[in-house]
Amino acid sequence: MRKTVLERKTTLGNEYYTPDELSIGSLCFVDPLLYKAVCWFQDEKSYRHATEFIDKKGLTIACDLMSLVSGVPSPKHLGLAIYLYNEFGSKHLVKDMHCMGYSISYPELRMFLSCAATKAIEQQQITTSGGLVAEM
């Protein structure tokens, strides 16, 4: 069973987000009342429609607030670090974004990438011809 954000430690440890949780439209990380409050701060229309559709601006601000309060990086922070590293390959860019509070730290990113690679390797099988096939 997954812990709530405020029950977690300040780092992800061995627990990472699922691909569904990494999508920008996921509300699983953010407290619904915080999300509505952020939408209310934006404008009345966002507040009235906060439960009907996902306001991405409000959701990202709420994710930042939850991460600052709890110390646990949100799926947005992990996803942004992965994107920046894959797109630009820059350790310094990830570090700078972490210092500004927008992504996870570079060592946490490397640990995540290692865990993801290990999981992918575990799901592969060697065929009789010596090739690798991923299990589905």
44 falls within a domain:
yes
pLDDT of 29 higher than 50: yes
For 73-113, the pLDDT digits (tens) are: 888 888 889 999 999 999 999 999 988 888 889 998 998 88
68 falls within a domain:
yes
Q: Crossing angle of helices 75-88/106-122, nearest 10°? A: 80
- List beta partners, residue 124: 134
108 falls within a domain:
no
CA distance 90 to 116: 19
Q: Is 135 exposed, middle or buried (0-12, 13-18, 19+ CB in 10 A)?
A: exposed
Q: How confident is the model at residue 33 (pLDDT cuts 50, 70, 90)?
A: confident
Residue 93 near residue 103, CB atoms below 8 Å: no
Q: What is the pLDDT of residue 8?
A: 45
Of residues 27 and 111, which shows the higher confidence score?
A: 111
9 falls within a domain:
yes
pLDDT of 19 higher than 70: no
130 CB-near residues (< 8 Å, 6+ apart)? none
Of residues 3 and 46, which shows the higher confidence score?
A: 46
72 falls within a domain:
yes
Average pLDDT, the chain: 77
Q: Residue 42 sits in which domain range? A: 5-76
103 falls within a domain:
no
- Number of folded domains that form the chain: 1
Q: What is the pLDDT of residue 11?
A: 53
